[in-house]
Amino acid sequence: ITLLITTLSMFYLGLIGVLLNRLHFLSILLCLELLLISLFIGIALWNINLLNLYNTTFNLLILTLSACEASLGLSLMIALSRTHSSDLVANLNLLQY
């Protein structure tokens, strides 16, 4: 039960981080990664509690999507920092160019 509480607290911490800490693009990406990792851990614990160790395809799908989100986010951050010369979210005006 303590792992469930830890997973839920990680999820809510990531959600609060996305909602409140929107100054830098990198901090938003890190909070999104925390959300996905807590979701991965939660589903893994759910499969272990149900003794369903053979059905781990959903876990692998979440882990794959997390890796794709990380690479896409970092490439977007590099592109935005090259065009706008900072990673501040407030400076992003996509209709400017």
Section 5-29 average pLDDT: 88
Section 61-66 average pLDDT: 88
Domain 2-84 classification at class level: mainly alpha
User: DSSP letter at 85?
Assistant: S
Report the helix count and the strand count for the chain, using DSSP H and E: 3, 0
Say if residues 18 and 79 touch (Cβ distance below 8 Å). no
- How far apart, in whole angstroms, are the C-alpha atoms of residue 14 and residue 10? 6
Q: What is the pLDDT of residue 16?
A: 92
| Of residues 89, 90, 57, the one with CA closest to residue 73 | 89
Which pTM does this prediction carry?
A: 0.80
Radius of gyration, CA atoms only, the chain: 17
